[in-house]
Amino acid sequence: MILRTADPFEALLNFQRALDSARSSNWFGTGTTSRGVFPPINVFRQDDDFVFVAEMPGVEKSTIDIQVKNNQVRLRGTKKKVDTSEGMSVHRRERAAGDFDRVLSLPAEIDADKVKAEYKDGLLTVFLPRPESHKPRSVSVD
């Protein structure tokens, strides 16, 4: 008879995924939607434009896909799995691996033709300029 024990880390990871899935549903209203082992992202405003920085260690540049439409940015990719040697037991497992797909909604439209991205040392920086026609402009009073 073979007894199998459940991996408590896998159970916690599945629970976190279920919570993330529930949070991204329409139950909580509009917000960030995501699927998979998505990277943490910070979004900044720089003058009238936006910049986001995503932590992506273990993600090969060739797997990163960025799509921009209107006020949404979609980030997809694959985080490599850390292989363990045969006979090695896991003491702690916090690093998740696999495909991710994340959509961010910004409060203004983005000029998709002028978006730039840089990837260095596991950090992805994406520069998201607003179209000139959507930027505020000053009006002089006569």
Question: How confident is the model over 78-131, as pLDDT tens digits?
Answer: 988 777 778 887 777 777 788 888 899 998 899 999 999 999 999 999 999 998
The range of the structural domain enclosing residue 120 comes to 31-82+96-133
| Domain annotation covers residue 36 | yes
* Alpha helix positions (H), 39-82: none
Is 142 domain-assigned? no
Residue 102 located in a structural domain? yes
The pTM of this model reads 0.66
Q: Residues with Cβ < 8 Å from 1, sequence gap 6 or more?
A: none
pLDDT in tens, 42-78: 999 988 899 999 998 888 999 999 999 999 999 999 9
15, part of any domain: no
- Residue 114 within a domain: yes
Question: Is the sign of the CA dihedral 8, 14, 19, 20 positive or negative?
Answer: positive
Residue 46 lies in a domain: yes
Residue 59 belongs to domain with CATH number: 2.60.40.790
- Sign of the Cα torsion 120, 125, 126, 129 reads negative
